């Protein structure tokens, strides 16, 4: 059984419609948890009793947990409003080597790191690639040029007007019938902030895809 250990003051992400709201755990009781009113870009989330919340929690060991909770109501303590939510259920633990991966078709820009000159930023230096799938640990892209194993590339991912720059190592190469190349890339030397942005993006894409079914 997956064990989720929420603690007081830990940060959580609340997935709602097409946005991600920030919140924190304020108290943990026997049958319920108090969380701060989730907020995104200054907008507070309004919830009804009985609604199910999808949430993401990052622990201090590098693990990512996805889970759901039921909204039990609102309460106020010391003149501060909180939501009361039930204990987590449908808990999924996503380890670093087993990130959730989502299929997506999107044109992105990339450049080999050895060709990247820090003081020059012309976009024409970048090549186009077709992003095929994405996870917190890596991605697959389809490209025209032939790269080599262990080549390092720098790519710009854009989703919902948010630009995320990633650095990755080529770990798999497959030549296609149309004389192009599908490359498997493991993200390399990535900070936690960037990885969390990618994981949030993956969850956003998954939610949108589910809504289309």
| Predicted confidence (pLDDT) per residue in 153-200, tens digit | 999 998 777 888 999 999 999 998 888 999 999 998 788 778 878 888
CATH superfamily of 11-97: Electron Transport, Fmn-binding Protein; Chain A (2.30.110.10)
pLDDT at 207 over 90: no
Query: What is 99-212's CATH topology?
Result: Thrombin, subunit H (2.40.10)
Bridge partners of residue 138, in order along the sequence = 186
Please give the pLDDT value at position 27. Answer: 93
User: For all residues of the chain together, what is the average pLDDT?
Assistant: 85
Residues 6+ apart with CB under 8 A from 2: 65, 91, 92, 93
Average pLDDT of span 105-134: 80
Please give the pLDDT value at position 94. Answer: 67
Q: How far is CA 5 from CA 69, 93, 161, 183, in A?
A: 14, 11, 33, 37
Please give the pLDDT value at position 4. Answer: 81
Q: Which sequence spans correspond to the domains of the chain? A: 11-97, 99-212
Task: Read off the pLDDT of residues 89-113 as tens digits, 9 standing for 90 and up.
Answer: 988 876 555 567 888 888 999 999 8
pLDDT band for position 20 (cuts 50, 70, 90)? confident
Measured over the CA atoms of residue 34, residue 35, residue 36 and residue 42, the dihedral's sign is: negative
pLDDT band for position 121 (cuts 50, 70, 90)? low
């Amino acid at each position: 059984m997956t064990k989720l250990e929420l603690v007081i003051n830990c940060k959580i992400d609340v997935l709602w419609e097409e946005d991600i709201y920030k919140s924190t755990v304020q108290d943990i009781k026997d049958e319920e948890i108090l969380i701060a009113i989730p907020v995104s870009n200054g907008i507070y989330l309004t919830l009804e009793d009985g609604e199910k919340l999808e949430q993401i929690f990052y622990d201090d060991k590098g693990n990512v947990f996805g889970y759901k909770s039921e909204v039990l109501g609102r309460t106020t303590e010391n003149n501060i409003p909180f939501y009361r939510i039930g204990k987590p259920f449908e808990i999924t633990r996503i380890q670093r080597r087993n990130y959730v991966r989502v299929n997506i078709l999107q044109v992105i820009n990339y450049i080999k790191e050895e060709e990247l000159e820090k003081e020059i930023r012309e976009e024409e230096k970048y090549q186009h690639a077709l992003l095929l799938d994405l996870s917190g640990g890596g991605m697959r892209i389809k490209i025209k040029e032939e790269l080599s194993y262990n080549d390092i590339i720098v790519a710009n991912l854009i989703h919902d007007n948010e630009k995320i720059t990633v650095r990755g190592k080529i770990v798999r190469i497959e030549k296609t019938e149309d004389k192009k190349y599908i490359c498997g890339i493991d993200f390399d030397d990535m900070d936690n902030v960037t990885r969390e942005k990618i994981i949030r993006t993956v969850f956003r894409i998954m939610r949108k895809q589910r809504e289309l079914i």
